[in-house]
Structure 1
Amino acid sequence: MSDHMSPEEFRRHGKQVVDWIADYLAGIESYPVMSQVKPGEIRSALPSGPPERGEPFEAVLSDLGRILLPGITHWQHPGFFAYFPSNASGPAVLGDLLSSGLGVQGMLWVASPACTELETVVVDWLAELLDLPEHFRTNAKGGGVIQDSASSACLVALLAALHRASDGQVTSDGIKRRYTLYVSSQTHSSLEKAARIAGLGTSGVRVVDVDPRTLAMDPGHLRTLLAQDEAAGAVPAMVCATVGTTSTTAVDPVREIGEVCRERGLWLHVDAAYAGVAAVCPEFRWLNDGVAEYADSYSTDPHKWLLTNFDCAVLWTADRAPLLGALSILPEYLRNPATSAGSVVDYRNWQVPLGRRFRALKLWSVIRWYGAEGLRAHIRKGVGLAQELASWISADPGFEVHEPHPLGLVCFRPEWPGLAAAEADAATMRLLQLLNASGSVYMTHARIAGRVVLRLAIGGAATERRHVEQAWEQIRWELAALSTTLP
C-alpha cells in the first residue's frame, strides 16, 4: 500500500465514502443523539502507534463504523437541540468535497483566481440575500470575506478597530496605551479571547449592563462606561453589539449603540453569528436595524443555520482600509505582478492565517441548490416550530418560558414547588442530564438572572414537527418521573 491512490482506486473508494455518508444520514435517527462513551474509551480502542505498512481503505471505513461512530455526537440528528444548529446539507458536503479535491490554497489571487473571485461574488450574493448595505459589497469601500468562525471574525474586527483607534501605532509599535473593548454579560466569550490575543488583556474588556428583561445591552450604561474610561486615560477601541446572543438570542439595540459609537468615533462590530442569516426572510430584517448606518463590521455564520457545513463564517466591513492596514504584510516570496498592481483582492490580508481553504465552493453550492426561496423556507420552518413549542410550554402550568424568543431558540425551566432556588437549579440540571442520557434528545442550559434554564434550539435540516413533539413529550415524561423522587 505504499503507492499513491490511483484515480481508479479513488473513484471506487470515493463511491464507498459517499454511500457511507448517505447511509449514515438516512439512518441517523437510529443512533442516540449524544455519544454515550466514557472518557478515553475511543482512544483505548485505537492502536497506540501508526501502522508500518499501509492498509486498505476498507479497513479505515470499517474502523470508522466500529470504533469512531460510537464516539460521535450526531449534530445532524433531528433530535439535536443543543447549542445552535450546525447544518450539513448535501450540496454543502459536495461543495466541500470539491474544495478538498481541488486542493487549492487560496492565500493570493494569483494562487487560484477562481478561488478569490468566486468568494467575492458569493459574499456579495449573501449580502444581497440578507439586505445588507451596499457599502459592504466588494465593489464598494468595504467588502466581505469568509472566515473559519465568528471567533476569527471578531478578532479580525478588533485588530482593525485597534489600528484605526491608534492611527496605525498599534500595528507598528504594539500596545503602548490602555485600549478598551465593550461587551455585555451576554456577549460571546470569543470577544474576551480576542482581547487576550490582541494584547488588551481581560482587564481591557468592559462589561456593559443589560436590560434585566430582554438581556439586551444598555446604551445608557455604555455611555457612562465610555466617559469613565476616557477620563481615566483609556482609549476605547471597539463595541460589540450582538444580534442573537448564545444563551437566549437576545438582540442588542444596534441603532442606539451605534449612535453612542458615532459620538466618539468608536468602531462598532455587530456579531450576528446565529441570527443574522434569518434576514434572508423579509419579516426578520428588523434584525438589521441600525447596521447600515452604524456598523463598521458585521459577521454571521452560514455554518450554523443556513445549511452550510462548518466552517463558513462571513465578515463584512464598511471600510476595508483599517482591516488591511492591520493585517497586510508582503514578504518577497509572495510578491507578484497582480498584487503589486493593486488590481486584485488578496484575502490573506483579510484574516489572521496566511493559508485559506476554498470555502466559497460550499456556500456557492448551497445558494445555487436551494435558491433564496429554499433558504427562506428552511429558516421559517425552524422559527415556526420554535414558536409552536413555546406555545405548548406556556400552556403547561409546570413550566415557565423566557420571553422573548423571536427565532429558533426557546429557553424555559420547570417550576419546582417547595424547592429553594439552589435546589430548583440542581433539579433542573438533573432533568437535563436525564434527557441527554435518554438518547432521543440533546439539549444544553443557560443562566438567566442567576437561574438555570433549559435551551432547546430548533433548526436542523432533518428536524420535523414530530421530532419537536417527541422532545416535548420526553421532557414532560422525565420531569414527571424525576418529581416523584424529590422531597
Structure 2
Amino acid sequence: MDAEAKSFHAVTEVLPSPENIQHARSQLIKTLPGKGSGLDQIQKHLQNDLVPAFDRHNKTPNYYGFVTGGTTPASLLADHIAVDNDQSLMVHLPKDSISVEAEDCALRMLCQLLDFEPERWPHRTFTTGATASNVLGLACGREYVIRRAAEVNGGEVVSVADYGLPEAMRRAGIENMQILSEVPHSSLRKAASIVGLGRASVRNVGLANAAHRFDFEALEAALEEPRTASIVSISCSEINTGFFATSGDDMQRIRQLCDQYGAWIHVDAAFGLLARVLPQTPEYEVLTQGVKDLHLADSITGDGHKLLNVPYDCGFFFSRHLDLGTAVFQNTNAAYINSNAAATSSGTPSIPSPLNIGIENSRRFRALPVYASLTAYGRNGYRDMMERQISLARAIAKYIDNSVHCELLPKGNSIDNIYIIVLFQAKDENINDELVQRINATRKIYVSGTQWDGRPAARFAVASWQVQVEREMATIKEVLESACT
C-alpha cells in the first residue's frame, strides 16, 4: 500500500473551479425528455459537464473534511465488478451464488484485522454507514434491556419486536429508557429518534474537567435509577478532537456496572476502531489504550469508507448476540424468500441470511470492495496506512502548536493525544471567523469547520490511504501561512 501511495500523482486542486461548477449547473437536465439522448450522448454529458464539477476527495490526499477517506485501487476494482454483476445479497442461497459467503469472509477478515474473534461476534453485517449501524445497535440494545428488566420484574418473556415499545415497557415494568454517553456523535441522537427512544433519551455522563471521559459516579447513579432501562454508548474517537472515551481499565469497569444493572454497551467506533491495528509502542500508547478491551462491548459500529478506504456507503455492525438481532430484524411472512432459502441451504455452513439480521432487504454488494482491499493489503498494509495518517496528523499539530498565528485545540493538548483529527483556531479573531473559507478558497487543501468553546474552529481529518507526510506537509504549510496571516 505504501508503494501505491508513493506512486500516486495528486491533483493540484481539491475542489472544482467556480467556473466548472457554474457550467455544470447550467447543463443539468431538469426535465425528463420524451426521447432519450442515448448512451453516447449521456456519457459525454456526464464526463464533460458534471465530472469536472465534483470534488476530488478521491483523487488527492489533501481533502481533510468529514473523515472522508478515499478509495483504494483494489476496492475501486471490486466495486466496478460488484456493479457489473449486481448481486442481490438478502438471502443466503449457496447453490445459486457465492456472494453471501464472500460477504461473510469479508466480515471474518475484518474481525481478524481488528483483533476480534469472529466466533464471539456472530451477528455481523454490512450497512450503509455508521448511522445505520447505530440504529442496529440501539435496536438490539433496546430489546436486550427490556428483556432483562422483564426477567428481574417478573420473569415474563417480553420482546419490543413483537409487542412494540410502549407495551413491552409496560409488561417489563419500565417507565423510562436512557442512552448514557459522553459527547455523543449526532448520528447517535438520530438513531435514537428512529428506534423510538427519542433524542432526549441521550444523556451526557462525561467528566466536566476532562475531554470526553466518563464520570463513573454519574454513570452508576444513572444506572441505579428505578424503573429505568439503560444503554451505555461509548464514543471511540470523538469527532472534533479524535479523543477516546475510555482508557486503562475503563471498559472493564463499564462492563461490570452494565452487568450489575442489566445495561447494554454499544460502541460508536466510526473511525476510532482502526487504532487496534497499531503496534504496542510508546508513541501509540494513548491510542492503543483508547481501544483496549473493546471486546467487552455488546455491539460495535464502524465506517468502512473511513477505516478501510473503500467506496462510500459502507458501514459495518458487530454484536455478540445473534439471537437478539434475529428477533429484531427477522423478515417474517415472506414465504417466497424463506422457502427458497430453505430449499438451497442444506449441508452448507450456517450463515444467516442478511435480510434477517439487518435493516435492508435490498442490499448491494458493498462487501466485495472490503473483501478485495483486505485481501490485497492485509494487516500490514492497513497498519502502514494508519501510521502514515497519524504521522501526518501529528506533523500538522506540531506545526500549528509552534505557529504564532494559530493555536492547537483543546488548549494544552499533547501531541501524544493526536490520532487523525487536528482541531485548531486562528489567534486573530477576525481571521478566525473566516479561517475555513480562506483555507478552502485556495482549493489546494480542504478542511471542515466546527465550533469549540463557542468560537469557530477548523478541523483536519486525515483519513486517506494516499498520504505521504513530507509531500502533504509542504502544501499544508504553504496554505496555512497564507490563510492565517
Aligned to 1:474: 479
Aligned to 2:104: 120
Aligned to 1:88: 71
- 1:337 offset after TM fit, Å? 6.2
Distance in 1 of aligned mates of 2:13 and 2:398: 29
Q: What whole-Å deviation, never above 9, does each CA across 1:320-347 have from its counterpart, x for those lacking one?
A: 1111111112221212264488944111
Asked if residue 369 in structure 1 is aligned to residue 376 in structure 2, the reply is yes
| Secondary structure at 2:188 match in 1 | helix
Asked if residue 410 in structure 1 is aligned to residue 422 in structure 2, the reply is yes
Asked if residue 458 in structure 1 is aligned to residue 442 in structure 2, the reply is no
Distance in 2 of aligned mates of 1:63 and 1:28: 25
* Residue of 114, 120, 131 corresponding to 1:151: 131
Which moved further from structure 2: 26-35 or 283-292? 26-35
Aligned to 1:11: none
- 1:297 offset after TM fit, Å? 0.6
Aligned to 1:439: 443
Q: Contact conserved, 1:82 with 1:457, CA < 8 A, in 2?
A: yes
Q: Contact conserved, 1:29 with 1:78, CA < 8 A, in 2?
A: no
Q: Contact conserved, 1:131 with 1:285, CA < 8 A, in 2?
A: no
- 1:57 offset after TM fit, Å? 3.0
- 1:467 offset after TM fit, Å? 2.1
TM-score (normalizing by structure 2) = 0.83
Runs (5+) with no aligned partner, structure 1: 1-24, 417-423, 481-487
Q: What whole-Å deviation, never above 9, does each CA across 1:239-274 have from its counterpart, x for those lacking one?
A: 110111111112111514333322212110111111
Aligned to 2:31: 49
Distance in 1 of aligned mates of 2:177 and 2:19: 43
Q: Contact conserved, 1:186 with 1:247, CA < 8 A, in 2?
A: no
Aligned to 1:336: 339
Q: What whole-Å deviation, never above 9, does each CA across 1:251-305 have from its counterpart, x for those lacking one?
A: 111514333322212110111111212322233543431212x200112222113
**Alpha-carbon distance change, 429 to 114 in structure 1, aligned in 2, over 3 angstroms:** farther
Q: Contact conserved, 2:88 with 2:364, CA < 8 A, in 1?
A: yes
* Residue of 104, 111, 130 corresponding to 2:87: 104
| Secondary structure at 1:380 match in 2 | helix
Aligned to 2:15: 33
Distance in 2 of aligned mates of 1:179 and 1:444: 37
Aligned to 2:317: 315
Letter of the 1:81 counterpart: Y
TM-score (normalizing by structure 1) = 0.83
| Secondary structure at 1:180 match in 2 | strand
- 1:411 offset after TM fit, Å? 1.1
**Alpha-carbon distance change, 141 to 187 in structure 1, aligned in 2, over 3 angstroms:** closer
* Residue of 49, 59, 62 corresponding to 1:79: 62
Q: Contact conserved, 1:212 with 1:449, CA < 8 A, in 2?
A: no
Q: 1:130-145 counterparts in 2 under 5 A?
A: 130-132=114-116, 134=117, 137=118, 139-140=119-120, 142-145=122-125
Q: Contact conserved, 1:179 with 1:200, CA < 8 A, in 2?
A: no
**Alpha-carbon distance change, 129 to 398 in structure 1, aligned in 2, over 3 angstroms:** same
Distance in 2 of aligned mates of 1:209 and 1:45: 50
Q: What whole-Å deviation, never above 9, does each CA across 1:175-223 have from its counterpart, x for those lacking one?
A: 2144433244521111111111111122222222345342333333222
| Secondary structure at 2:374 match in 1 | helix
Distance in 2 of aligned mates of 1:427 and 1:217: 35
Runs (5+) with no aligned partner, structure 2: 1-6, 148-157, 170-174, 281-286
Q: Contact conserved, 1:303 with 1:311, CA < 8 A, in 2?
A: yes
* Residue of 173, 191, 195 corresponding to 1:194: 191
Letter of the 1:298 counterpart: I
- 1:456 offset after TM fit, Å? 1.0
**Alpha-carbon distance change, 476 to 47 in structure 1, aligned in 2, over 3 angstroms:** same
**Alpha-carbon distance change, 203 to 35 in structure 1, aligned in 2, over 3 angstroms:** farther
Letter of the 2:238 counterpart: T
Aligned to 1:485: none
Q: Contact conserved, 1:91 with 1:365, CA < 8 A, in 2?
A: yes
Letter of the 1:171 counterpart: A
| Secondary structure at 2:265 match in 1 | strand
Distance in 1 of aligned mates of 2:189 and 2:20: 31
Asked if residue 171 in structure 1 is aligned to residue 161 in structure 2, the reply is yes
Distance in 2 of aligned mates of 1:469 and 1:148: 35
Asked if residue 360 in structure 1 is aligned to residue 372 in structure 2, the reply is no
Asked if residue 245 in structure 1 is aligned to residue 245 in structure 2, the reply is no
**Alpha-carbon distance change, 434 to 183 in structure 1, aligned in 2, over 3 angstroms:** farther
RMSD over equivalenced CA pairs, Å: 2.6
Which moved further from structure 2: 114-123 or 249-258? 249-258
Letter of the 1:235 counterpart: A
- 1:446 offset after TM fit, Å? 2.6
Distance in 2 of aligned mates of 1:220 and 1:239: 14
Distance in 2 of aligned mates of 1:470 and 1:226: 49
Which moved further from structure 2: 428-437 or 401-410? 401-410
Give identity over the alignment, percent.
Answer: 22
**Alpha-carbon distance change, 113 to 406 in structure 1, aligned in 2, over 3 angstroms:** farther
Distance in 2 of aligned mates of 1:26 and 1:141: 37
Distance in 2 of aligned mates of 1:80 and 1:226: 42
Aligned to 1:60: 42
Distance in 1 of aligned mates of 2:266 and 2:201: 17
| Secondary structure at 1:282 match in 2 | coil
Q: What whole-Å deviation, never above 9, does each CA across 1:411-455 have from its counterpart, x for those lacking one?
A: 122223xxxxxxx3x641312111111211111123333343221
Which moved further from structure 2: 407-416 or 276-285? 276-285
Q: What whole-Å deviation, never above 9, does each CA across 1:67-125 have from its counterpart, x for those lacking one?
A: 21343122122221111132211111111111111111110002854121112221111
- 1:380 offset after TM fit, Å? 0.8
- 1:150 offset after TM fit, Å? 0.6
- 1:364 offset after TM fit, Å? 1.1
Distance in 2 of aligned mates of 1:246 and 1:175: 31
Letter of the 1:122 counterpart: A
**Alpha-carbon distance change, 431 to 278 in structure 1, aligned in 2, over 3 angstroms:** same
Q: Contact conserved, 2:269 with 2:301, CA < 8 A, in 1?
A: yes
